[in-house]
Structure 1
Amino acid sequence: MSGPLKDVRIIEFGAIGPAPFACMMLADNGADVIRVARHVPAWRQGIMDASKDVLARSRRVVHLDLKTPDGVREARALARSADGIVEGYRPGVMEKLGLGPEVLLADNPRLVYGRMTGWGQEGPLAQRAGHDINYIALAGALHAFGREGGKPTPPANLVADFGGGGMLLAFGMVSAILHARTSGEGQVVDCAMVDGTALLMGMMWSLRSAGVWRDERGVNLLDTGAHFYETYETSDGKHVAIGAVEPEFYALLRERLGLVDDPDFDRQRDPKAWPGLKAKLAKIFKSRSRDEWCRIFDDSDACVTPVLSMSEAPNHPHARARGVFATIDGVIQPSPAPRYSRTVNDAPRMLRPQQDDRDVVIASLAPLHAESDGQLTNKG
């Protein structure tokens, strides 16, 4: 893979969710990510065909049984060749396998050892099971998601798993690898989804400190409390999204809606006026179809856009012009991001059915390990 990380090698110990997402980002940006595949538990078989798994794209794969001495020796050989490893197990699991940080950093002092967990490597909940909904609940984020008077509504599993988890781990890995390359010293990156979720709420903590963000759901500037930051149903049962926060954009919204002379809309920043203004806007937007509203606002900075489904999003003209989505081996998926002017990322490649790149990996590692015990060997 080409990209800014093309001289970086990462060993990924197979997991689900945020750890593969971090490794997808690293691979998208050029890193040579070698996945140590594991046995797929029966409950997960059939849920995801590996050849359709977007989070697994652009990897090389080696199948190892980490519960055997040979598998552990071969995993250590892989880690000796690497800039970093990524694992997503509960604290202590890698140590029990004989692949903990003390062992692998002794083998390779420049290694960056990335650990992806929900609760972190220590603390009273470190060994507790959990999922995205639990981590965002404890971090104070889930309480903020939802409509006024309604119950907390999780935004799928985007916040802890991918924003506060996988993306933060990818950032942590690159940061620590940069440090290792200048200092010669590797380290452990303890990436906890509860930490990352709290971090993503940084602006809300600022607003709360300033006295302009309340604990109640759906009553604030950016949580659908305001009439100018909200979604509205259209006559065809679809929706538009409005984000006319700044006064100049709000003025354009009023202009296109014919509300310039309505004094009620002069009270943009008055929370007491928001419920009534939302009711007025709801009635207005219900009078036309989503596409009609798009034609009215398409050339405007009023910050009005259609709410597109996953089926619709790849076909939007802007997405098509920028190549926001790609179809690889019949699988529609987001393209690598961000974009670089010089070190351009390659197109992703999907895993092949029953993929095993042992021979290729051995050939690429042999020069690095000619004098290393436990070197990978081709055992057929």
Structure 2
Amino acid sequence: MALAGVRVVELAGLAPVPFCGMILADFGAKVIRVDRTKVTMAMDTQARGKRSLALNLKTPEGVSVLRKLCVQSDVVLEPYRKGVMEKLGLGPEELLKENPRLIYARLTGYGQSGSYAAAAGHDINYLAMSGLLSMLGRRGEKPYAPLNLVADFAGGGLTCALGVVMALLERSQSGRGQVIDTSMVEGAAYVGSFMWKSRSIGMWNNPRGENMLDSGAPFYDTYQTSDRKYMAVGAIEPQFYSQLLHGLGLDDADLPSQMSFSDWPKLRQVFTDCFATKTQAEWRAVFDGTDACVTPVLSLEEVSSHPHNQQRESFLQDSQGEESPRPAPVLSRTPAQPCQGRDPFIGEHTRAVLEEYGYQPQDIDRMLSTGVLECNAAKARL
């Protein structure tokens, strides 16, 4: 796999850092998630392929163990607010002195500098600060966040993983590691570069929800079918729009011009009425195999059974029967090989990981007895 041999220490966190760690693990990195002790259940639902070590960082010896793990690894993924690792003496300056090849990835909402650097927040706050939230929503309605996808995962976890891969590539030439400062505000804004840069060509001149790609255009929207399901329409180009009309049984001569903005409400009503006359399956039969850019809105329960997704094996099941997307993109020679096993229990691999990093069994036993470590391997075998 592409990242085989790369050792990653992921400090347990929520959403974006676990996603970053899962990406790296899917493509071959050995990812160790460092969990807190005395935690009964992991909140990381993206732990595929990771191992868990439970460590008490409120003890000096626990901090010492983490230091050793970090300086003997290639990558550290850190999700804490600004200054937390420095208080432990484990900031990037300290660790890079001991391991100049270390890649220290910091993933936070607002980044490592600026007046909000130490502030709390969530995806919706970062999205708001990026400028993108102001553009998301239907006409006359308040802005809405599209789940927590844009800042947490696209601008956060995925952008951070890209930074790690780029730093690994650069290290192969320079021999030196570096610090990655991933801000979810900046990552979300960067993901939205198209919006920023296409303002100059007039694509976003109208208020929110009244532009071509934000549900303003009737030919770029979703429509309910007679069985209360939905079809998605993206027929922007004239040749695709023509096929949309043909599939709907409409005559272009009887309708307003496609780009007559003032007539969009009327055109939307025509499309709404048309789509309401057939079931989703019936519309699929009409539009499949055409270039009308009309597709079914599939539920999470339906998506893996769609013929196209089945043919590409786009979704996979783990040993517990849980379904999830296959890692993307697909590499021809070194594709991802995601773990099919269950997610780790907290502390399940504490002993095995520390032995790999040079700790003797008696030292591990002593730290277990003093509460520096936890090992739940026995529970994992039940």
- The answer to whether residue 86 in structure 2 is matched with residue 103 in structure 1 is no
* Deviation readout 1:259-284 (Å, 9 max, x if unpaired): 2443425x222322222111110111
1:1-380 superposed matches below 5 A? 3-39=1-37, 50=42, 53-214=44-205, 216-265=207-256, 267-328=257-318, 329-348=320-339, 349-366=341-358, 377-379=363-365, 380=368
Cα gap change, 1:314/1:5 in structure 2, threshold over 3 Å: closer, same or farther?
same
Distance 2:100 2:260 in 1: 58
Q: Which sits farther off after the overlay, 319-328 or 91-100?
A: 319-328
Distance apart, 1:215 and its partner CA: 5.6
What amino acid is aligned across from residue 111 of structure 2 in structure 1? G
The whole-number CA distance in structure 1 between the counterparts of 2:58 and 2:24 is: 27
Q: Hey, what's the Cα distance between the residues in 2 that align with 1:207 and 1:354?
A: 46
Q: Is the 8 A contact 1:24 1:55 kept in 2?
A: yes
| Code of the aligned partner of 2:86 | E
Q: 1:377 deviation in Å?
A: 4.7
Which amino acid in the other structure matches residue 28 of structure 1? D
Q: Which amino acid aligns with 1:6?
A: A
The AA in structure 2 aligned to 1:269 is M
Q: How many aligned positions are there?
A: 364
For residues 11 and 197 of structure 1, what CA distance do their matches in structure 2 show? 25
On the 8 A contact 1:67/1:97 being kept in 2, the answer is: no
- Residues 215 and 114 (structure 1), Cα distance of their counterparts in 2 relative to 1, 3 Å cut: farther
Q: The residue matched to 1:262 in structure 2 has which SS?
A: helix
Contact persistence 2:151–2:185 (CA under 8 A) = yes
Q: How far apart, in 2, do the equivalents of 1:237 and 1:39 lie? A: 48
Match of 1:378, SS?
helix
Q: Secondary structure at the match of 1:113?
A: strand
Distance 1:376 1:67, change over 3 A: farther
Using the aligned pairs only, state the percent identity: 46
Larger CA deviation: 155-164 vs 311-320: 311-320
- Compare 16-25 and 344-353 and name the one that shifted more: 344-353
CA distance in 1, matches of 2:362, 2:52: 13
C-alpha spacing 1:377/1:250, structure 2 compared with 1 (3 Å): farther
TM-score (norm 1): 0.90
Whether the aligned pair in 2 keeps the contact of 1:78 and 1:376 (CA below 8 Å) is: no
Q: Name the SS for the 1:280 alignment partner.
A: helix
Q: Which whole-Å CA distance do the structure 2 matches of 1:193 and 1:250 have between them? A: 37
Deviation at 1:22, TM superposition (A): 0.5
Deviation, 1:102, is 1.1
SS at match of 1:242: strand
Q: Which residue type is aligned with residue 264 of structure 2? A: W
Aligned residues of 1:24 and 1:57 also touching (Cα < 8 A): yes
CA, structure 1 residues 285+100, in 2 after alignment: closer, same or farther (shift >3 Å)?
same
TM-score in terms of structure 2 length: 0.90
Change in 2 beyond 3 A, CA 1:345/1:247: same
Unaligned runs of 5+ in 1: none
Matching residue's letter, 1:276: K
1:90 to 1:106, Cα distance in 2 relative to 1, 3 A: same
Runs of at least 5 residues in structure 2 that lack an aligned partner in the other structure? 369-382
Alpha-carbon distance in structure 1 between the residues aligned to 2:124 and 2:253: 42
8 Å Cα contact 1:54/1:350 also seen in 2: no
Deviations 1:87-145 (A, max 9, x none): 10000001111211111111100111000100111111111111001111111111111
How many Å separate the matches in 2 of 1:196 and 1:376? 45
Cα 1:215–1:23 change in 2 (3 A) is farther
Q: CA deviation at 1:315?
A: 2.0
Give SS of 2:198's match.
Answer: helix
Q: Which moved more, 1:328-337 or 1:168-177?
A: 328-337
Deviations, residues 220-256 of structure 1 (Å, cap 9, x unaligned):
1111111111001111111110011122211211221
Alpha-carbon spacing, 1:40–1:86, altered in 2? closer, same or farther (3 Å): farther
